[in-house]
Structures are given as C-alpha cells and as structure tokens.
Amino acid sequence: MRKIYIGIIGVGVVGSSVIRILKQNQDLIGARAGVEFVIKKAVVRDIPKAQKLGILEADKFHTDIDSILNDKDIDVVIELIGGVEFAYEIAKKALQNNKALITANKAMLAYHRYDLARIAKELPIGFEASVGGGIPIVRTLRDCLASNHIQAIYGILNGTSNYILTQMFDHNKDFYTALLEAQNLGYAESDPTLDINGLDAGHKLLILATLAYGINALPEDILIEGISDITPDDMEFAREFGYTIKLLGIAKSDNNELELRVHPSLILKDCMISKVGGVMNGVSVIGDCAGESMYYGAGAGGNATASSVIADLIEIARDTHSSMLGFSRSFDKNLTLKSIEKIRSRYYIRLYTQDKPGVLSQITQILGDNNISIQALLQKEHTEQGMAKLFISTHTSIESDINKALQEIQSLPIVSQKPYKIRIQDL
C-alpha cells in the first residue's frame, strides 16, 4: 500500500486527537483512503511533555518547524498552532516546498485564504476543521451545493458564546457567572476575548462567505459585535415575547449587495437554529435550488475537529480535491459588500430611565424623528427606586437611523445608562 508521510505542527488538543485517531482507526482510514498514513515528525514546544502523552514514538517529536518544512519525504503538513502571521509564513513555506497543507486556523484564513489559494496553484489545501469543528460545512458549500446561488447563511459558529447565552436564557444567569462556568468546564479559555467579542465567529463567517459568494473581505470590513453587554433583562424580554438570543453569523445576498455581519440576534424560539444549545454549532444554508438545509454538531473539541482534519487527509490521498476555494474564476463580479450603515433590520432596544411623566413622549419623539416606528413596548420596575426599565421593539429600520436615534436618547437627562440594541432576525 502506498504511504503518505505527514508532519504535524502543534500537538495540543486537536493535534494529539489527530494522532490518536489515525492510530486507533488505522484500518478503517486506510481502507477509505487507499493509502497508509505515516506520521513522520511532530513539532512541539516541550518535547518531554509531549513524550509523556505516549501517542507517538519519542524520536518523532521535534522543536524545529523547519525540520518538517524542509523534509523532502513529508507529503502533507498539518498546521495546528493558531495565530495569524506566523502561521501564514509556515503555510506559505509548506506550499512553496511542494507539500499539501491542512489547517484548522480560521484566523489565518480570514486574512490569507486568497493568498494561500494563489500560492498553492494545484497543491491541495484542506481547511474543513477551520469552521464548525466536526460539521462538514466547508465541503458542503464548496462542493455539495456548488450548483446553487446561496441566498443566505445563518450560523451559530462559536460554542463558547452559545453555551454562555444558553445558560443565561435557560437558567437566568448573568453573563459573568455563565462565563466563569464555561471556563471551569473547559468550554472557554482563560482569555475568552475572541469568543465573546464575536471575532472568532467573524473569522469563520468570512471563510463561509468566500466559499458561497467568492467575496474577499477582511474582519475589519464587516459588522462584528459580541455578547458581553447582554443582561438577564434582555433574556426576560426575549422569553416574554417568544424569542431567544443567539450570536449569529449572517451572510445574506440582496440584489448585488452582500451583508456580512456577526452580532447577537433575537430569533423566534421555534426556529430550527434557535434550538442549537450549549456548546453546539449549527449552520442554516439557503440555496436557490436546494432550499434550506441545516447542519448541526460539535463545533469544537479535539475529536470533532480532528475528524475534519483526517477527512481532508483522506480527500488528499484520493486525489479528488478541488481548488481550495471551490472556484477557478470570479463568478459574481457585480457583488459588493453592503455598508454597515445601510443594513435594514428590526431592533430591540433596552433603556433604563427615570420613572416619571413625559419620559415615553421624549423617547418616542426622537425615534419618530429618525424614521423609526415602534412595534411593541414593555415597561417594568427597576430595582432602583424612581427608575424604570423600558424594552422597545421596532419595525424595520436602517442601521444609520437607529444609531443616530440612540445617540440622541443617550444624551437625555432622563436616561441613566447607554441604550443597548439587539437586532431582531426574521428567519
């Protein structure tokens, strides 16, 4: 049987799972791939620590990345170290040295996917593990739905933020309590910034948008908001009006414009994607031919992500890989990225105000002056005497109008805190 030699850079949670699964399911994987995969070298920071794992022969661990990149016998480099620029240099050198590449690095791909596609030419690049862990969403968009014009993608793309929001909604916990619980359970890093500020989901959305629409956008080009400002009061409103709150990545085409945005969204509780709870991920794709299809599964974790890495290995072995991004030329030259200020949505607004006559008239006057129509309004008592909580939902408005109105409302003496908005997503 033909052998394919592998070099793994990074033997953390995912890398160690890749090694274990390749050994544990060797016969199955070999039968499906038609080759024998041989791990020749693995680069780690701490060799003694790696050797204690007992997953690989001791002499196969190295600390020098070039020992893999310059090894002429190695056919495939698996990059699992994370980061952006350093990881890009590794990926670039692997391709320049005529090696196939597999990466789970969504941050690097968010900035350099087109660069890598250009460098690779005919060399295969696998990146199924970069979005959705074990969910085969990359291959689905690139290959299975290739005949479809994709009308929209709605995705819960970050398990940490989804776990936090699930705990807040189901168990009435505040954000920081839910975050601490996620950290204690290993669902959140000690520094959870990329998860809770929406950037991790933003990286993944950009990858999916490239596969679906052929657009080359960067994280700085799109709307990305996190979940740290969501409170139990927002969850109370959601429950009362039949919604739940999820951090959604949204890609939506409208004529020749494409909306790309990541932000908390109020969605109806009976929608399919609203039922994706805990650390799970879910992606809904709407194509003009296939209609709506839903993909659900573990969005992170060693075994789930390793499963996607090995799926890429098998595809490389079969020599059935397509071009990295799934297209050889631009297929929608007229498509442009919609300005954030032009986004249209319904909105939920949370206000803390003084509880006295005339408050509502001042707020509704400002909203009306900015072309914003109120759909529903709920007032509740505040724990602080003399204060009230106001929850407002609007009809469809323009982002620039809602932002201007909230700035004016914030300047009112009757308003005690900065207003907070969440977009209401109709699915």
Which pLDDT tens digit goes with each residue over 381-403? 888 888 999 999 999 999 999 99
Measured distance CA(425)–CA(427) in Å, rounded: 6
Q: Which residue has the higher pLDDT, 368 or 1?
A: 368
Measured distance CA(66)–CA(70) in Å, rounded: 6
Which pLDDT tens digit goes with each residue over 307-328? 999 999 999 999 877 788 888 7
- Across the chain, mean pLDDT equals 95
**CB under 8 Å to 77, separation ≥6 — which residues?**
6, 7, 9, 68, 69, 90, 91, 94, 99, 100, 101, 102
C-beta separation of 352 from 417 below 8 A? yes
Which pLDDT tens digit goes with each residue over 68-89? 999 999 999 999 999 999 999 9
Structure tokens at 169: 């909604």
C-beta separation of 300 from 192 below 8 A? no
Query: What confidence score (pLDDT) does residue 319 get?
Result: 87
Query: What confidence score (pLDDT) does residue 308 get?
Result: 96
Q: Cα angle vertex 239, ends 268, 236, to 5°?
A: 135
pLDDT at 254 over 70: yes
Which pLDDT tens digit goes with each residue over 48-58? 998 988 899 99
Crossing angle, helix 13-24 and helix 26-33, to 10 degrees?
80
Active site residue 204: yes
**CB under 8 Å to 322, separation ≥6 — which residues?**
142, 143
pLDDT at 183 over 70: yes
H helix or E strand, kind and range, residue 3: strand 3-9
pLDDT at 295 over 70: yes
Measured distance CA(309)–CA(278) in Å, rounded: 23
**CB under 8 Å to 85, separation ≥6 — which residues?**
none
Structure tokens at 51: 């050797």
H helix or E strand, kind and range, residue 21: helix 13-24
Measured distance CA(229)–CA(306) in Å, rounded: 33
Measured distance CA(222)–CA(338) in Å, rounded: 9
pLDDT at 334 over 90: no
**CB under 8 Å to 204, separation ≥6 — which residues?**
106, 110, 130, 131, 132, 155, 157, 158, 249
First to last CA, the chain: 50
pLDDT at 333 over 70: no
Structure tokens at 375: 């759909």
Catalytic residue among 204, 252, 338, 421: 204
Q: How confident is the model at residue 365 (pLDDT cuts 50, 70, 90)?
A: very high
Go through the chain and tell me how many residues it has: 427
Q: Cα angle vertex 226, ends 239, 172, to 5°?
A: 30
pLDDT at 218 over 80: yes
* DSSP for 316-382, written as a single string: HHHT----TTS-SS-S-TT-EEPPGGG-EEEEEEEEEEE-STTHHHHHHHHHHHTT--EEEEEEEE-
What is the arithmetic mean of pLDDT over 291-316?
94
Query: What confidence score (pLDDT) does residue 326 get?
Result: 82
* Nearest Cα residue to 296 out of 281, 314, 277: 281
Q: Which residues of 395-406 are buried (b: 16+ CB within 10 A; e: fewer)?
A: eebbbebbebbb
